[in-house]
Amino acid sequence: MLQKPQLSAAESDTPEARLGTAPEIGELLLHISHDLRTALRTIRTRTDLLKRGCQPAQVSGLEEHFGPIAEGVEKIDRLADGIAAYSIALEVSNVSFQPTPLNALLRAVLTKLDRDLRANDATVTYDKLPTVPGDPDRLMEVFENLLCNAICHRDTNPPAIRVTAERQQNHWLLAVRDNGPGVEVPYLEYVFQPFARLQSQRRAGPGLGLTTARLIVERHSGRMWAESNPGGGAVFFFTLPAK
């Protein structure tokens, strides 16, 4: 009869021992995201039925309750999206990597975010970016999260974002610069923590965008960090292998 190997006290207290491997955690998070969306569908359906069953005068009187319900549902919906994205990032593997042209990825992201960019009068300029080995969908998500962060964490001036790339030995150093209010030094690492939010954000997201972006970069054997001078914008750097 096989016996379960005994772990030392130190080994049994690691996150991996408590929660399992990355694929197992990713699967757990996907289930959580699915269950959240199932509950949200029920709330939406029941709320709509309640509205239809009320007289116009009653609906007007209950609007102060319906409004917060809709806002809460939208907030949880964004949280479910963020959890699902993080769970998928956990499963990124170099087995599926392919030559990925970052210029094409960035253009696709700009098309996807066109409405938000126009609404905020934002401009994005970029250098000629390299082709790197990677997961195209996930690397696209890195650019999307960094651009959305620059739009949300903006100053009174229209966002001006620049994306650059520089070859350094066996890797590429990429940077996304913005002209926002910047991040104080004590918070430069904090912004990558799950559910972290800064007060200057114009739009409250689930707080998982930068966390997921860093995880994706790390799954590509890279690093991500931020530098900033308060009042002088922020720069989010990340590295990707050149080949």
Is the pLDDT assigned to residue 176 strictly greater than 90? yes
Of 183 and 203, the one with more pLDDT: 183
* Torsion from C-alpha of 238, 234, 122, 84, nearest 10 degrees: 50
What's residue 14's pLDDT?
A: 44
| Contacts of residue 17, Cβ cutoff 8 Å, sequence gap at least 6 | 7, 11
**pLDDT tens column, 79-120:** 888 888 888 898 899 998 999 999 999 999 999 999 999 999
Helix, coil or strand: residue 154:
coil
What's residue 51's pLDDT?
A: 74
pTM of the model: 0.77
User: What are the φ/ψ torsions at residue 121 (nearest 5 degrees)?
Assistant: 55, 40
What's residue 1's pLDDT?
A: 37
pLDDT, average across residues 204-233: 90
